[in-house]
Homo-oligomer: A and B are copies of this chain.
Amino acid sequence: MSASRIGQMLPSRSNGVFSRDKVLTIDTMNPTVKNVEYAVRGPIVQRAIQIEKELREGVKKPFTEVIKANIGDAHAMGQQPITFFRQVLALCSYPELLNENMFPEDAKNRARRILQACGGGSVGAYSASQGIDCVRQDVARYIERRDGGVPCDPDNVYLTTGASDGIVTMLKLLVCGEGASRTGVMISIPQYPLYSAALAELGAVQVNYYLNEEKCWSMDLSELERSLAEARKHCNPKALCIINPGNPTGQVQSRQCIEDVIRFAAKERLFLMADEVYQDNVYAEGCQFHSFKKVLFELGPEYSDNVELASFHSTSKCYMGECGFRGGYMEVINMDPEVQAQLSKLVSVRLCPPVPGQALMDLVVNSPQPGEPSHTTFMKERTATLSLLAEKAKLTEQILNTVPGITCNPVQGAMYSFPNISLPEKSIKEAKALGQAPDMFYCMKLLEETGICLVPGSGFGQKDGTYHFRMTILPPTDKLKILLAKVKEFHQKFTQQYS
């Protein structure tokens, strides 16, 4: 061993205490982790939390509360959980409640069925790694109903820890290679930053295709072709990810567009990943959710027997908004059986997804039916939540479009608006001098001056020279109105200040 090595190993005295170099430092740690970024919980949110603390400590601000519209977290914004779901979860947690008269029979029946499927009748037991059998069966029947009878094999359904877990797992299977043969994965720009973060961590090549803002964030075939041709020069593009309804962009892709994408994937031999967690969040007239699977099967066996597809869903969005339970599923279609065996092995290492989240996923796909005691209340709650979201989607679009310098596509679905903001040259220069993205500079100023927490467009990606922010439509209507009025006022002031 060299003398310098021994030197490194021995503790050295400095400032009166023993100290030495750390084993794990920013220089010795995994470099792919350093490349990870996740704007939805990035620096602006850190600052928002700090400001909240300052407010509690009595620091004077030009506002009295922070309004967070940075994350699709419905319950945190006051959305109420579905009563039936929570009743069943309570019954599953503490089965002694099955002896009480306070719960409707259908809630008790669902709880009994889930408990019977659990080891030892307890949600505290591990489930099968792929998920509880009867839940996967219920998911399969749900998918069949949703897709007009297209068959779904429960063996192709994997329950997951939220949709994120399924997406990362699929990417993990796909990614390999070095240099020019490194796996490329096509993602939309703007994108949900889970994708860029996972690709960075896995060391894959992020292949950007741009959504067409002029056509309400639709997918353009020619853009997909451009992006792919470009990517093939330096990597091996293997997969194409779509988020529909869109995050952060709130569009709902047309059936024609989905068909085009499937034909493109078939022709170009791309594995399709369809992030469909907002499938019930469709508000705009004339818009409808089309699952990639359904369209795939409507295109006939040439496609439905061949195109590889993974589709993702979650308990976190739609009318449920149950993010905290981390429930979700993925369905894999046309997956090579040997690869699927590897997938099943891979998920077994993490033992199982959280069982309460699995139970919740079951309730989502197997909700109260007409004639069951909870049906009326369930439908009332579900409809009220979705109607309110539709109303707030409209409101957001309308008010933002009254602001000179802000242009906002209709929020057709999902939970987000992603308006284009014109920023004065002077503000762009000032931001760049600070080493900040211009829309980060804008959002940070907005936060400091108004207490409103949005995420800059640069965290999701956007065309060079354009600027955006993402805001959720989730705050309660009165707060949403305050938020929009404050954004309007701020934008005008900001534009003046830097003109």
The residues of A with any CB-CB pair to B shorter than 8 Å are 8-9, 11, 17-26, 28-34, 36-38, 40-42, 49, 71, 73-79, 81, 86-87, 89-91, 93-94, 97, 100, 102, 118-120, 122-129, 161-162, 164-165, 172-176, 193-194, 197-198, 201, 238-239, 266-271, 301-302, 305-306, 308, 320-326, 334-336, 338-339, 342, 345-346, 348-357
Contacts and interface: CB of A to CB of B under 8 A. Distances in A.
A238 B24 contact: yes
A127 B345 contact: no
- Stoichiometry (number of copies): 2
Contacts of A25: 336, 338-339
A293 to B, nearest CB: 17
Contacts of A325: 123-124, 354-356
Given A302-B18, A324-B352, A89 B94 contact: yes
A201 B31 CA distance: 16
Contact of A355 (B36, B173, B324): B324
Given A20-B269, A76-B119, 19 more contacts: A18-B301, A23-B269, A23-B271, A24-B308, A24-B335, A24-B339, A30-B174, A33-B342, A40-B348, A41-B129, A73-B125, A81-B124, A86-B94, A118-B324, A122-B324, A124-B324, A126-B323, A325-B355, A356-B356
Given A86-B93, A324-B125, A11 B351 contact: no
B238 A306 contact: no
Contacts of A79: 120
A73 B355 CA distance: 13
B94 A162 contact: no
Query: What are the 7 tightest A-B residue pairs by CB atom distance, in nearest-first order?
Result: A76-B119, A324-B355, A90-B94, A75-B122, A41-B348, A76-B125, A89-B93
A332 to B, nearest CB: 10
Contact of A173 (B30, B37, B120): B30
B346 A36 contact: yes
Contact of A346 (B33, B102, B120, B345): B33
Contacts of A269: 8-9, 20-21, 23
A308 B36 contact: no
Contacts of A8: 269
Contacts of A38: 345, 348-349
Contact of A75 (B75, B124, B197): B124
A469 to B, nearest CB: 19
Which one of A49, A271, A306 has the highest number of Cβ atoms from chain B below 10 Å of its Cβ?
A306
A24 B164 contact: no
Nearest to A315: B124
